Structure 1
Amino acid sequence: MSSHTDTSGRIRTRQRAKRACEMCKLRKRKCDGHEPCTCCIRYEYHCAFKPSPREKKTISKSSTALGDEPDAQRLSDRAGANQAHMEANSGTAFPHLLGMILNPQSAPNVHGFSWNLGPRDEPLELSTNMTGLISKEEMEELASHYLKKIHPVYGVLDPEDLQQKIDTRWNDSTTVASYDSILCGVAALGSLYSGHKQHPKESALVQCAKEKLETTRTSKTTLLHYASTWILRTICLRSTNCPHASWMASCSTMHIIEAIGAHQEPELASLVCSDTADVSFNEETRRWLFWVATVLNSWISYEYGRSRVTPRGVSCKLPLPRKDDFTTDLISCIKSPNGSIQTVTIKLLPSKSLCPALRALHSPMML
């Protein structure tokens, strides 16, 4: 420990903080020990401290007495720590973070500096016009089947918004829109679960949605529509195709979810996803998408014996229950036993816990 002599001849030692927050440790900054500390307040970081050994022992005893109930604050701190490590290792976010430390007024934006040899033109999007495949009346009928059979279990779309999109699409039948992929997926699933003979254009609708999804993997912009369409495609493939195809689709869905930042609450959003995040939708819609995508990926992965996609830095809260909707019941069947909202801890419930969860469903359904 360094020291120096003052004017009175007394030796003074340099004062050090007894503890430092995780962000200051990570960035090797001097921490004043306050919560939040001055450095985190200045740069708008998430300030969190690891408990001391004595505090850990106290927390351990109290958590045992309370039946290991989850602590929302600790989960949030853990998500913030994971996020900090992600940003520190990100080639796109690190220059911005370094600039905020060295010169906050002129810090560079989050950008992939020297990422490649130079961008090329994006692949041309195939423009099959779905209004040439089915009429508006047929679309509305297929959508009604979808809303009756699929939506109560996998509620990722707003019925009112869906009807509005149908009206708008057929009022301007010449313009191909990004929402067409969702309409094609809805129509295909509506035909599949209609209970009658399939629509003659069902295969064409599936192919139309697939064509539009192919461009999402290399597109510079990522929309929430794409995540919804990937969920619909996963359900379709799980219902009609081999396990490998449905597993691949569910993994692609999770990657799109991470790209648009739907796995994080807005106030805890990471800089890593800032270049592709879609904030045009409300928080509740993003939660429905994240949790339904997580359920599908987890179930298909366990059924097939493959690995799941688990984004880091998850802070997405559970969606609110809705009337005549069983999506939250579906989520509860695969949620971790301790109620954690972290996908890294999600696992299938043991049989003794699974049976009560299944009995809690309001009525027998075919998922």
Structure 2
Amino acid sequence: MGSSLLSPATVQNDLAAKRQQQEQQTNPAALAGLLLKALEANSGAAFARRLNPKNDVAGAPKLHLFGWNVGARYPTPEWAQALASVKSRPVVEIINQDEMRSLANIFFERVDPCYPFIDRETLLRQISRRWLPASSESLGFGPYDTVLCGVAAFGCLFSRRRATPMELQLIESARSILEQSLQSEPLSPVETVTGWVLRVAYLRMTATAHAAWMASCSLMHLIEATGMHIEPSSNTALDIASTTESCNPETRRRLFAMARHLNVWISFELGRSRVVLQGATSLPPSPRQLGSTPGFTADPATTTDIFNLLPVSESLDPNEAQDVSNLEIALTDVLDIIYTQPHLILVQCNLMLCIYRRLRALNSIITGDLLDRVLALSGKGLKAVSELVAVNSPWHQIANVPFQVVCTLLAIDNRASLAMLRDSMHALHEVASAYDTEVMREAYTTAYLMIVMHQRRKEEDIQMLRDVLQLNPSVSVPTDTPIRESAVQSDHTLMDYPGFSWLSDILVDIPSLRDFDMEPV
């Protein structure tokens, strides 16, 4: 009405909001609640739990990190027995030089474009040196063995869908040497840190979340012990930078950045504390021009890499105060980045989904162009999943991103998001088919159940509207008015996989879902 006067109710509401804000800033319980919300928003598992709290019923698998990775590399008891019998051996006793060079080529083709922390020329020189005939260098364990074993293990991981005894031997040898390195000052700090980065990255793709988190924390403490977080030129009273002064500055910065990236995201996804090194002076790594990767269409002029996302990732620490405006700016910044390689697109998509969850935790509703861009990047991420599955690149995001996209689409719950559910389930189905593991079957069936429950709620809403219309039977609807019922359709069924009987138990235990046919028509 053009009046500048506020109603008493409006004034009262404003005062109440200010009092609540002041209380949250001073009340320990309120601060703890905000911290818990941030922790849960960072964790994809907690997001799925809050999205469908009815999943917590008897018979359902514990809502752990669905889609944490594609599943255990050694899933059967036979493999566990084989792993227990493996003994640590020098790398030259496990594989020959030709095999090492072949596996190293796979590493630099598939892994290095996303995780660029090893200099290729240095590695190739070390390979030539390690396999020198009849020399002291080729006897016993070498200082570079952890790096060679780690690189070779990644070569196996990205070239074979199933582990081989050779891969087991490589991993066990690297683990044994690295764990012994924690008992004393490392003789070769750069090689030791590089080996630990390889181990943590390998565990992130193949092991349990707890194992990966523990290893990532050990890596961060090793970084501090060797001074890799300190620029050699920094003025410090502690003589901790001397151990890495001979290391190439760019290599040292990339190792520190990789350690931070792995620890930050593993901690976020588990809702646990990350390791923050006080007094770090390391500069950001210089952007590296990425060349084309076999099997992918890449822009050779691309200069962005994974380290560009570190500042935004670390700003999402639950202990850091974040308001809606800052998160929306961060979301826009992430969406503005243009990646062309599929593995980097998935890293970007994962960060975008995390920021979206943080905004939802603050009860912020994203609409308009920004929401359209969120959906567009989600669709781009789903395509990247299919590309990586096709070339046997088991990045952990190929499992995590499509599952989290399903959760996000259901949370958005509009026509545009529901229309993308088919593509997201198709991508998740592709991963589960390529890597037929227990965790992938659980991720797929859980996503399926979430859609079933969402569809059932929609049907209950439609029934309530019908009840309202039946109260007004005399009102006629024009014959040319189209009336359609929308339903989520899928070309995948739970019969695609064994072990889905627990879903039937859930449907029986939830009254509103009794007698509901799980299989799509």
Tell me the TM-score normalized by structure 1: 0.59
Partner deviation per Cα, 1:95-144 (whole Å, 9 max, x = no partner) = xxxxxxxxxxxxxxxxxxxxxxxxxxxxxxx9722111111111111111
Change (3 A) 1:360 1:275: closer
Whether the aligned pair in 1 keeps the contact of 2:217 and 2:275 (CA below 8 Å) is yes
How many equivalent residue pairs? 238
2:168 maps to 203
1:161 maps to 122
Change (3 A) 1:346 1:272: farther
Partner deviation per Cα, 1:64-94 (whole Å, 9 max, x = no partner) = xxxxxxxxxxxxxxxxxxxxxxxxxxxxxxx
Whether the aligned pair in 2 keeps the contact of 1:231 and 1:253 (CA below 8 Å) is yes
- Out of 324, 334, 338, the residue aligned to residue 357 of structure 1 is 334
- Out of 245, 252, 261, the residue aligned to residue 295 of structure 1 is 261
Change (3 A) 1:280 1:181: same
Whether the aligned pair in 1 keeps the contact of 2:193 and 2:255 (CA below 8 Å) is yes
Change (3 A) 1:167 1:151: same
CA–CA separation in structure 2 for the residues paired with 1:159 and 1:276 = 25
- 2:311 maps to a residue whose letter is K
Q: Does 1:305 align with 2:281?
A: no
- 1:211 maps to a residue whose letter is S
Per-residue deviation at 1:151? 1.0
CA–CA separation in structure 2 for the residues paired with 1:310 and 1:346 = 16
Q: SS of the counterpart of 1:286?
A: helix
CA–CA separation in structure 1 for the residues paired with 2:285 and 2:309 = 14
Q: SS of the counterpart of 1:184?
A: helix
2:232 maps to 266
CA–CA separation in structure 2 for the residues paired with 1:152 and 1:259 = 28
1:17 maps to none
1:231 maps to 197
Per-residue deviation at 1:182? 0.5
Whether the aligned pair in 2 keeps the contact of 1:154 and 1:327 (CA below 8 Å) is no
Change (3 A) 1:237 1:134: same
- 2:169 maps to a residue whose letter is A
Q: Does 1:144 align with 2:105?
A: yes
Per-residue deviation at 1:328? 5.3
Q: SS of the counterpart of 1:205?
A: helix
1:7 maps to none
Q: SS of the counterpart of 1:350?
A: helix
Q: SS of the counterpart of 1:316?
A: coil
CA–CA separation in structure 1 for the residues paired with 2:165 and 2:235 = 44
2:145 maps to 180
Q: Which moved more, 1:289-298 or 1:279-288?
A: 279-288
Q: SS of the counterpart of 2:243?
A: coil
Root-mean-square deviation (CA, aligned residues, Å) is 3.0
Per-residue deviation at 1:315? 1.1
Q: SS of the counterpart of 2:139?
A: coil
For residues 71-82 of structure 1, the aligned pairs below 5 Å read none
CA–CA separation in structure 2 for the residues paired with 1:155 and 1:309 = 22
In structure 1, runs of 5+ residues without a counterpart are 1-125
Whether the aligned pair in 2 keeps the contact of 1:335 and 1:346 (CA below 8 Å) is no
Per-residue deviation at 1:197? 5.0
- 1:248 maps to a residue whose letter is M
In structure 2, runs of 5+ residues without a counterpart are 1-86, 292-301, 347-394, 396-521
1:278 maps to 244
- Out of 240, 250, 260, the residue aligned to residue 206 of structure 2 is 240
2:311 maps to 335
CA–CA separation in structure 1 for the residues paired with 2:286 and 2:96 = 35
- 1:206 maps to a residue whose letter is I
Q: SS of the counterpart of 2:150?
A: helix
Per-residue deviation at 1:303? 0.6
Per-residue deviation at 1:292? 1.0
Partner deviation per Cα, 1:333-367 (whole Å, 9 max, x = no partner) = 23148x99xxx9799x9366346525422332255
- 1:330 maps to a residue whose letter is I
Partner deviation per Cα, 1:235-268 (whole Å, 9 max, x = no partner) = 1111111101100111111111111111111121
CA–CA separation in structure 1 for the residues paired with 2:255 and 2:185 = 21
Per-residue deviation at 1:301? 0.5
Q: Which moved more, 1:351-360 or 1:306-315?
A: 351-360
Identity between Structure 1 and Structure 2 (%): 37
Q: SS of the counterpart of 1:335?
A: helix
Whether the aligned pair in 2 keeps the contact of 1:152 and 1:327 (CA below 8 Å) is no
Whether the aligned pair in 2 keeps the contact of 1:133 and 1:201 (CA below 8 Å) is yes
Whether the aligned pair in 2 keeps the contact of 1:146 and 1:190 (CA below 8 Å) is yes
Q: SS of the counterpart of 1:206?
A: helix
Q: SS of the counterpart of 2:281?
A: coil
CA–CA separation in structure 1 for the residues paired with 2:261 and 2:95 = 32
CA–CA separation in structure 1 for the residues paired with 2:90 and 2:114 = 29
Structure 1 segments of 4+ aligned residues over 6 angstroms from their partners: 344-347
CA–CA separation in structure 1 for the residues paired with 2:177 and 2:220 = 18
Whether the aligned pair in 1 keeps the contact of 2:289 and 2:304 (CA below 8 Å) is no
CA–CA separation in structure 1 for the residues paired with 2:321 and 2:182 = 26
CA–CA separation in structure 1 for the residues paired with 2:159 and 2:303 = 20
Question: Relative to total residues, which structure has the larger helix share, 1 or 2?
Answer: 2
Partner deviation per Cα, 1:260-311 (whole Å, 9 max, x = no partner) = 1111111215343538732220211111111111111101100111111111
CA–CA separation in structure 2 for the residues paired with 1:132 and 1:238 = 27
